[in-house]
Structure 1
Amino acid sequence: MEHNAKREWPPALVDPTGRREAKPRDAGLTMVIDKGLGLRAFEDMIRLAAPYIDVVKLGFGTSALYPEELLVRKIEAAREAGVHVMPGGTFLEVAVTQQLVDAFLDTAKAYGFTALEVSDGTIELNRDQRSALIVKSIDAGFTVFTEYGKKLFGSTIEWEELARTVEIDTGLGASFVTIEARESGKGVGIFDENGECKTDDVEAIMNAVPNRHALMWEAPLKSQQTELLQALGPNVNIGNVAPEDALSLEALRRGLRSDTFHLGKQAKV
């Protein structure tokens, strides 16, 4: 065996599927949810996994609770690594109820956030209000991710309504529409009370929504991520991924784990 080999894995070992694209990409996005990482842990995550993370969401309203300097440094670290960073959609919902949307947008811009999540998982927004928030956020310079579905346990997906929402939201300029599953991944949207994927619902959604790459599926559990990858391929958009799972999800996408080994191209013997 030669001992002067290059310290570089052959491409077919790095990505046996041969289908993963480098950033920036329009499909196969990974959105990580940060529920309160310290600065060192956040920087470690970015240093290790930035090529495999497209968006970091500072979950719910945690952005309001950070010391100013720490929040700025986290946002700067993400931006320098080419990772979108956004506050959680629930925080914008708070701004709506407090009639402070303009102040929210101004402050988010001042901190350096690059994206926003427009949602109504807890409050009720009519179509005109939702559309206005999308347009206002884009006009303010943010990349917009919208979210469909309610956070209430037992809530389900109305396929035709979802298809209409995707058509209108993306027509207004939203980049992706996220299907709600909360950070628990249980009892909401396409997942039952045990976190099991309702495969019939996934199939119905894919039949109802013409542009599958406009969808991002919240799937915090490994079993859920595996099912979506098996059903929809390595370039499905997956959100609400735990920071410690960013690298392992990428391994799943590439067929580098037993669960998705079959996704890799098999060389002829």
Structure 2
Amino acid sequence: MEKMNSVWPQELCDPSGRRQAKPRTKGCTMVIDKGLGLHAFTDLLSTSGEYIDIVKFGFGTAPLYPLAIIRSKIKLAKEHGITVIPGGTLLEAAVKQDLVHGFFRQVMSLGFTGVEVSDGTIELSRSLRSDLIRNAASLGLRVFTEYGKKLFGSRINVFDFASTAETDWACGAEFVTVEARESGKGVGLFDEHGSFRDGELSHIQSAVPNLDCVLWEAPLKDQQVSLIQAFGPHVHLGNIPTQDVITLETMRRGLRSDTFDLQRVSVTEYMI
């Protein structure tokens, strides 16, 4: 368990008693950065850096930053023990433009420590998907793959997801992410209101054996609560908005009413 601010009793910092210190293997939080400036990014890490495990520069935003800014952001993230990756859409664009080699060259030059391999917008053959995973892993990058299409109304094929995940892990992927976009609505597990589609989560639970290596995109609070209730505080969650990092951490620790029952029962008995 991580050492918290000594001003507060340890039990109040983590009433669940289950949060790991970084580098975490359980309960990782991936944050989506949609274009924060350097000062805002610095503020984010100074307040919430301890609770962030992965920062993704969303979509294809990475090439649009001034080089000095993106280098500074990557350096800051690494100083806080955070894996930093470009969005999977950028690699999809590199595939479409036949610029995969240039993509990886720049990823390494800038100091990124991971990549996301996805096919949310393009069609990616199984052989090319496997090659991209192996190539990234051979460069020493952490590999996060993504399953699902970004098209509104797209659904999860549970058995295809299970098969894809198994092959991705065998090729060197660390986590397989379930697509939900940054909106959390009308894609994958979620309907147009952002609610879980009936039965889909339980179907995945029964079909996928290694859920410890699944990261669930869940940008909305009710989605996060439902996944924590289903899998516990150790569930890996992604596409968390930057302003919601500490809020999510309170839910993981039982410091918010939605997950208050995660708290351990105190051994102290109070006499009235």
Report the TM-score, using the length of structure 2 for normalisation.
0.95
- Alpha-carbon RMSD across the aligned residues, in angstroms, is 1.1
Q: Which runs of 4+ in 1 moved over 4 A?
A: none
For 2:249 and 2:197, the matched residues in 1 are separated by: 23
Structure 2 residue aligned with 1:3: none
Identify the residue that residue 23 of structure 1 maps to in structure 2. 22
Q: 1:26, 1:212 → 2: CA distance?
A: 13
AA in 2 matched with 1:136? N
Aligned amino acid, residue 186 of structure 2: G
Q: Is 1:186 equivalent to 2:185 in the alignment?
A: yes
Question: Deviation of residue 8 (structure 1)?
Answer: 2.7
Q: Which position in structure 1 is the counterpart of 2:55?
A: 56
Instruction: Report the alpha carbon displacement of residue 198 of structure 1 after superposing the two structures with TM.
Output: 2.5
Deviations 1:208-253 (A, max 9, x none): 1111111000000111101111111101000000011111100110
Q: Deviations over 1:134-191 (max 9, x none)?
A: 0011112211000000000111111111111111111111110000000000000111
Q: Which residue is 1:242 aligned to?
A: 241
Which piece of structure 1 moves more, 90-99 or 205-214?
A: 205-214
Residue 67 (structure 1) aligned with residue 83 (structure 2)? no
Cα distance in 1, alignment partners of residues 247 and 172 from structure 2: 31
TM-score relative to the length of structure 1: 0.96
Name 1:212's counterpart in structure 2: 211
Match of 2:229 in 1: 230
Secondary structure of residue in 2 paired with 1:266: coil
Contact 1:169 1:177 in 2 (8 A): yes
Give the superposition deviation at 1:12: 1.5
Alignment of 1:38-117 (within 5 A): 38-117=37-116
Output the CA distance in 1 between the equivalents of 2:208 and 2:10.
Answer: 34
**1:56 partner letter:** V
Query: Take 2:206 and 2:15, find their aligned partners in 1: how far apart are those partners?
Result: 28
Instruction: State the shift of 1:27 in Å.
Output: 1.7
Gaps of 5+ in 1: 1-5
2 CA distance for matches of 1:201 and 1:10?
40
Partner of 1:162: 161
Helix, strand or coil for the counterpart of 1:19?
coil
For the residues of structure 1 that align with 2:256 and 2:197, how far apart are their CA atoms? 23
8 Å Cα contact 1:253-1:260 kept in structure 2 = yes
Runs of 5+ unmatched residues, structure 2: none
Alignment-derived partner of residue 254 in structure 1: 253
User: 1:10, CA displacement in angstroms?
Assistant: 2.0
Q: Which residue of 1 aligns with 2:266?
A: 267
Distance in 2 of aligned mates of 1:209 and 1:142: 25
Deviates more, 1:6-15 or 1:122-131: 6-15
C-alpha displacement of 1:261 = 0.4
The one-letter code of the counterpart of 1:117 is: E
Residue in 1 aligned with 2:220?
221
Aligned AA for 1:166?
A
Q: Which residue number in structure 2 is paired with residue 144 of structure 1?
A: 143
Task: Determine if contact 1:220/1:239 at 8 Å carries over to the other structure.
Answer: yes
Tell me which amino acid in the other structure corresponds to 2:58. Answer: G
Asked whether the 8 Å contact 1:72–1:112 carries over to 2, the reply is yes
Shift of residue 20 of structure 1? Answer: 1.0
SS for the counterpart of 1:113 is: coil
Are 1:166 and 1:214, in contact at CA under 8 Å, matched by a contact in 2?
no
Q: Distance in 2 between matches of 1:15 and 1:231?
A: 20
Whole-angstrom CA distance in 1 between matches of 2:207 and 2:213: 12
Does structure 2 conserve the Cα–Cα contact (< 8 Å) formed by 1:153 and 1:187?
A: yes
| Alignment of 1:36 onto 2:17 | no
Q: Helix, strand or coil: the match of 2:205?
A: helix
